[in-house]
Amino acid sequence: MAGTAVITGGEGGLARAIAVALGAAGYDVLSPGRGELDVCDAEAVAAYFGKLEGIDLLVNNAGVARHELMVKMEDAVWEEVVATNLRGAFLCSRAAVKLMARARRGHILNIGSYTGTYGAVGQANYAAAKSGLIGLTKSVALEMGKRGVRANVILPGFLETKMTAHLSEAQWAEIMEGHALDRLNTVEDVATFVVAVDGMEAVSGQVFQLDSRVGRQW
C-alpha cells in the first residue's frame, strides 16, 4: 500500500490518528485543516486538488455538529452542518475521482455517523447530512466501480474528541448503556480499521459500524 492520501478536517483528533496510521502503512499523507482546505468553498477545493498529481485515498473527515431542536433551528445552523458534512464531502469527492479515474484506482472513505442511520433528537441537520453521505457513498461506488474507484463509509461511534468534549458524565453513562460491550473505540482503533478496509480492494459501497450498538439510538 502506497501513494497519496488526503484527510480533510486534518486538525481533529481522529484525523491525526488516521494520518499516523496511514503514514505507517506507506502513504504520503496530506492532512489539511480548514485554514488550508475549506471544504465548503468550491473554488478552494478545486484549487487544492488541482495542485495534486494524483490521489489514491481520500478520507472525508471534516465535520461539524450544531445541536438544536428542529422547530428552533435557524437556517444558518442547518446550512452550516449540511454544507460541511455533506456538500464538502461531495466537492472533495468530485475533485478526487477525476484524478482517481485517470489512474483507474483509488478509494474514497467517508466518516459517517450512527445518527445518519437512526436519527437523534436535536440533530436533524447532522442526521440528514450523515444519511446523505451514505447515499453519496453508494452512488459513487456504483458510478466509479468500473474505473477501479471504491467508496465506503465508516461509522466510528462515540469517540473522545473535541466534538464530544461537551458531554457530561451523566450523558456518557447514558451513552454507554446502549453499547452491548460497555466500552468504546479509541481514535487509534478507528485508524487501524481505516488502514484495514483500505487494503481490501474488493470492498466498495459498504457501511461499517464500528461500535456495539444494536439497532438503538444510544
Q: Of 27, 48, 114, 126, which one is the catalytic site residue?
A: 126
Which grid coordinates belong to 34?
A: 480548514
Cα separation of 44 and 146, whole Å?
29
Cα–Cα distance list, 63 to 12, 46, 161 (Å)? 10, 19, 12
CA distances from 46 to 50, 96, 107, 119, 187 (A): 6, 9, 18, 32, 29
Bridge-based pairing of strands 27-30 and 3-7 is parallel
* Distance, CA of 55 to chain centre: 17
Give me the helices (H) in 57-156, please: 75-82, 88-103, 115-118, 124-144
Centroid of chain to Cα 170: 27
The answer to whether 118 is a known catalytic residue is no
CA dihedral for 141, 153, 65, 42, sign (positive or negative): negative
Residues labelled as active-site residues: 126
